[in-house]
């Protein structure tokens, strides 16, 4: 979903920048660059879906949770996040074409279930998908094979009947391949990885996906 359907990292950067600015305006005494580096560090350590990042950040910088400062940051973060939460160009058209072919569509994400469905709803994409396997379903994150196996079970297919599209070679492609799925790397997503598990296909644009599926069905 993230960096495959939408530019998640762009949204995250802009939201963090806005949150830092708002917290500084509310009394946080930390340089902007240092603050941003610290926040990114917490996200790298705890995961991009961790819900108590600002609490950790304020304990580190202020020695306590200053609720007015935290509230200012959360509000700014949410406002900017909503403004940048939109699908990549062409995504809706591609999903429509796949649905017209009567293909089953699903998502495997490390995000909590509510957050995943909220993002899809905000992008007006929720109606395209038959299922979402979220963190609560297995309590495991990619590249564990458990979330992928849960998707196989819920879809009622065999792994080799599933094409998994993801932006991370280390998490998405590695986990899906171990589960026996065909894989396509969404290189158009903002993945900074230069090495990892080799995908079966590489997508430089979402619009290439129907052609890849066509080629697979001809084999």
Asked if residue 143 and residue 80 are part of one domain, the reply reads: no
Distance CA 188, CA 193 (A): 12
Asked if residue 32 and residue 98 are part of one domain, the reply reads: no
Does residue 59 have a pLDDT over 70? yes
Would you say residue 74 lies in a domain? Answer: yes
Does residue 191 have a pLDDT over 70? no
Which CATH number is 49's domain given?
A: 1.10.150.520
Q: Which two tokens stand for residue 96?
A: 């429509």
Would you say residue 3 lies in a domain? Answer: no
Distance CA 16, CA 106 (A): 29
Would you say residue 150 lies in a domain? Answer: yes
Asked if residue 100 and residue 67 are part of one domain, the reply reads: no
Does residue 44 have a pLDDT over 90? no
Contacts of 61 (CB under 8 A, 6+ apart): 28, 30, 35, 38
Which CATH number is 153's domain given?
A: 3.40.50.1000
Asked if residue 204 and residue 108 are part of one domain, the reply reads: yes
Does residue 82 have a pLDDT over 90? no
pTM value?
Answer: 0.84
Asked if residue 50 and residue 127 are part of one domain, the reply reads: no
Q: Are 182 and 217 in contact (CB under 8 A)?
A: no
Least confident of 7-11, 49-53, 118-122, 215-219: 215-219
Asked if residue 166 and residue 116 are part of one domain, the reply reads: yes
Q: Which two tokens stand for residue 117?
A: 């469905």
pLDDT at position 39 is 95
Q: Residue 64 is part of which domain span?
A: 8-84
Does residue 97 have a pLDDT over 80? yes
Asked if residue 214 and residue 108 are part of one domain, the reply reads: yes
Identify which of 149, 146, 150, 184 has the alpha carbon closest to the alpha carbon of residue 164.
184
Q: CA 53, 57, 60 angle in degrees (round to 5)?
A: 145
Asked if residue 125 and residue 176 are part of one domain, the reply reads: yes
Would you say residue 196 lies in a domain? Answer: yes
Least confident of 30-34, 77-81, 139-143, 215-219: 215-219
**98 vs 51 pLDDT, higher one:** 98
Does residue 140 have a pLDDT over 70? yes
Would you say residue 2 lies in a domain? Answer: no
């Amino acid at each position: 979903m993230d960096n495959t359907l939408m530019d998640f990292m762009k949204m995250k950067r802009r939201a963090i920048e806005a949150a830092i600015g708002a917290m500084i305006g509310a009394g946080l005494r930390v340089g902007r660059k240092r603050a941003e580096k610290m926040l990114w560090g917490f996200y790298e350590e705890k995961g991009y879906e961790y819900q108590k990042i600002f609490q950790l950040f304020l304990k580190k910088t202020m020695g306590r949770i200053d609720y007015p400062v935290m509230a200012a940051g959360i509000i700014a973060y949410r406002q900017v996040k909503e403004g940048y939460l939109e699908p990549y160009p062409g995504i809706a058209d591609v999903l429509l074409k796949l649905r017209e072919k009567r293909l089953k569509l699903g998502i495997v994400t490390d995000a909590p279930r509510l957050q995943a469905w909220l993002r899809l709803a905000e992008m007006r994409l929720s109606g395209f998908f038959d299922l979402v396997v979220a963190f609560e379903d297995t309590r495991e994150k990619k590249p564990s094979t458990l979330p992928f196996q849960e998707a196989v079970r819920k879809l009622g297919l065999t792994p080799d009947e599933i094409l998994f599209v993801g932006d991370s070679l280390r998490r998405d492609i590695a986990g899906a391949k171990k589960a026996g799925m065909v894989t396509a790397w969404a290189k158009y997503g903002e993945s900074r990885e230069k090495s990892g598990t080799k995908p079966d296909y590489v997508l430089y644009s979402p619009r290439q996906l129907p052609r890849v599926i066509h080629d697979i069905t001809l084999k």
